Amino acid sequence: MPVVHTKRRRTRFGSPLSWLSQISLPILTIVLLLAFPHVSIQASTLGERSLEELSVQAVESLVSLRDSVKNIDPTDPSSHLSRILIPRPADSDNNTLVRNYIVSTLKALNWEVEEDIFTDDTPYGTKRFTNVIATKDPSASRRVILSAHFDSKYFSSFPQNQFVGATDSAFPCALMLDLAETLDPLLNARKERLEQGLEEDDEVADTTLQLVFFDGEEAFREWTATDSVYGARHLAEKWATTFIAPHTKRHLPTPSASEISTIEHLILLDLLGAPNPFIRSAFLDTAWLFDGLVAAERRLASSGAFAEDGIPNPDIRSFFIPRRAGEGNMNYVEDDHIPFLKRGVSILHVIATPFPRVWHTLSDDASALDLPTMRRWNLIFRVFFAEYLGLRPEVRSSREDRNTHSSRSHEELVRRFIDRRPNTGLTPRLTCVRRLGYG
């Protein structure tokens, strides 16, 4: 097998972890229990299920619910992305600025926000880290986590210390904030229906959305087990050893549930925002979630949400590599999900492989981002989480109202990017690949 392009140490056939791809899920669970004593089997998980697809009208409503570009536009100084797109290594003033912006944005939505502060030893001495955990409904019995790291890689000297990590992972963080703002009224409406006994599937309705912004994902020197994923290692251990008191108002899946056992799935975003990504399904137990993303993308393309010149293009190349029958667990990239995976948490890793060419270089700035690609990711996750959480977007009666934003063309987005470029010095990515469609 050819050498694997590595951001983190990546397993290969013949490596110590390659045997995972050949083992069935029940046996793999037992093996994980023996290999990792702190593994927690999730009693709360609902398991694989069919996601009820939104109607065409509901999808159009989601597309137009909020401007799908404004908060991810790096040329707009008020956008979420612009506020994050600064050098922000762990334990720095800029890191604190970005963290405070994330916290204030989510507190403004009345989400419960926890700042998980801790210190750890690094090659440069003891450093202070802070994970940000935002939960829509803290009383829910289960949570699906959408996560990314908000720190940028540390470099000791100029000009490398100006690294901003646009794909790694400023854009994923901006996407998460925009998703929270978009889905918040729909989550409020779902909770009202649940309290009134009007939800047909109260099990799904009792799953809340939680956003986790990890600090200290990047290695300070070389990627090792102790110099990487500082925030994820700390939080996974904390949740695995924190048990929820029975007298709390929270609905518990078991009488002695740990915090980590209430995680339905952890979905991790990384290295996104550059044009033409390739996304693979790494784990069999979340292949159905991967398929849910593929289906959301396909239906958005067919509806004209990714239209060029207002003409739907269902043959636009998918971001996702089709799964093949009989595939086992794939080789995977080490990232913030590993400490949770070792403790039995179900993982969906959405990461571009191969990595963007700008990875860990100064070129991973706003010029590496592609606005139509980012908007497409934004819409895919709107539809995916609306279907996963059983949300009901309001269907508008007027087709003209429904298409207010969805008719915005690829060329319009590119023109918008170019028109602002003289004031920013940015070089936009204009690539739009048209290849074989969905397999």
Active site residues: 217, 270
The Cα–Cα gap between 399 and 387 comes to: 22
Peptide bond into 50 cis (omega under 30): no
Can you name the residues that pair with 135 across neighbouring β-strands? 112, 210
The DSSP code sequence of 257-293 is: -BTGGGEEEEEEEES-SSSS--B----GGGHHHHHHH
Residue labelled with tokens 């922000």: 88
Backbone angles phi, psi at 399, to 5 degrees: -60, -35
Whether residue 148 contacts residue 267, with contact meaning beta carbons closer than 8 Å, is answered with no
Helix (H, G, I), strand (E, B) or coil at 44: coil
Closest among 282, 251, 245, 278 to 266, alpha carbons compared? 282
Strand order of the β-sheet with 347-351 is 112-122, 125-135, 207-214, 142-149, 263-270, 347-351
The Cα–Cα gap between 355 and 430 comes to: 19
Closest among 156, 126, 132, 162 to 145, alpha carbons compared? 132
Peptide bond into 354 cis (omega under 30): yes
Peptide bond into 312 cis (omega under 30): no
Can you name the residues that pair with 121 across neighbouring β-strands? 126
Distances (CA, A) of 398 to 60, 213, 403: 11, 38, 9
Helix (H, G, I), strand (E, B) or coil at 218: coil
Q: Are strands 207-214 and 347-351 parallel, antiparallel or unpaired?
A: unpaired
Residue labelled with tokens 């994820």: 232
Closest among 311, 381, 382, 396 to 57, alpha carbons compared? 396
